[in-house]
Amino acid sequence: MKSRISNFIYRLLRKERINGGYRWRLASIGWFGVYLHHFVDDGWLRDMHDHPYRLISIGLLGKYREETPSGVRIYRAPWVRSFPASHIHRIVMVDGGSCWTIMITLKPVRSWGFWTPAGWTPWHKYVNTNTTSKIDRDSE
């Protein structure tokens, strides 16, 4: 059952399905974006990925596990984090919970993709090989 906050947000803003949850675009001015994320599951992604832009992540409620090439760490809200486009990671839910974050995206500086056993794969190639993909294809 959705919480009152979830119900309010789902009705107020247009929801987009992303891998592992949902997001809502709160602001988008040129290359600057602000999104509300609700991570609810691990999704279909099994490989780590990077991003096309620097991110600022603000943890609002809940927790998640971040897997990186250098190890694993659990983040519990509240937090404020910033990482470069080249940061490689995968987000996994902890104990079947969920997590709410605000994500601020800055100017794109590179193409992004997934880190598979065969090496880095551009996002569009990776997504096209996974026909059940729910990833937002607008975030190239």
The C-alpha atoms of residue 89 and residue 38 are separated, in whole angstroms, by: 17
**12 is written with which tokens?**
């107020």
pLDDT for 9: 67
Average pLDDT of the residues of the chain = 86
Locate the domains of the chain by residue range. Answer: 22-126
pLDDT at residue 64 is higher than 70: yes
Q: Are 77 and 60 in contact (CB under 8 A)?
A: yes
The CATH code of domain 22-126 reads: 2.60.120.10
Q: Are 59 and 39 in contact (CB under 8 A)?
A: no
pLDDT at residue 19 is higher than 80: no
> What's the pLDDT tens digit per position in 68-118?
999 999 999 999 999 999 999 999 999 889 999 999 999 999 999 999 999
